[in-house]
């Protein structure tokens, strides 16, 4: 694997894993359904 392919692979991995981490943090801070509403629904 040459240098440019290695750099491109690292950039792609950072974008994918970074997006996953950012989406998890966003979901924790802004959940779709609050826990109180979930308990009211009986779930």
Asked if residue 3 is part of any domain, the answer here is no
The per-residue pLDDT for range 1-43, each reduced to its tens digit, is 899 999 999 999 999 999 999 999 999 998 887 777 778 887 5
Residue 26 lies in a domain: yes
The answer to pTM > 0.85 is no
| Rounded distance between C-alpha atoms, residue 43 and residue 41, angstroms | 6
36 belongs to a structural domain: yes
Does residue 5 form part of some domain? Answer: no
The pLDDT value recorded for residue 43 is 56
How far apart CA 34 and CA 8 sit, in angstroms, is 40
Q: Answer whether residue 23 is part of any domain.
A: yes
Structural domain boundaries enclosing 29: 11-40
Q: For residue 17, is it within any domain?
A: yes
Rounded distance, CA 21 to CA 41, Å?
29
What separation in angstroms does the CA of 38 have from each of 13, 16, 29, 30? 35, 31, 16, 15
Number of structural domains in the chain: 1
Flag whether 6 is in a domain: no
């Amino acid at each position: 694997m040459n240098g440019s392919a290695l750099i491109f692979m690292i950039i792609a991995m950072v974008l994918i894993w970074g997006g996953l981490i950012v989406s998890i943090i966003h979901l924790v801070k802004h959940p779709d359904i609050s826990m109180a509403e979930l308990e009211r629904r009986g779930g």
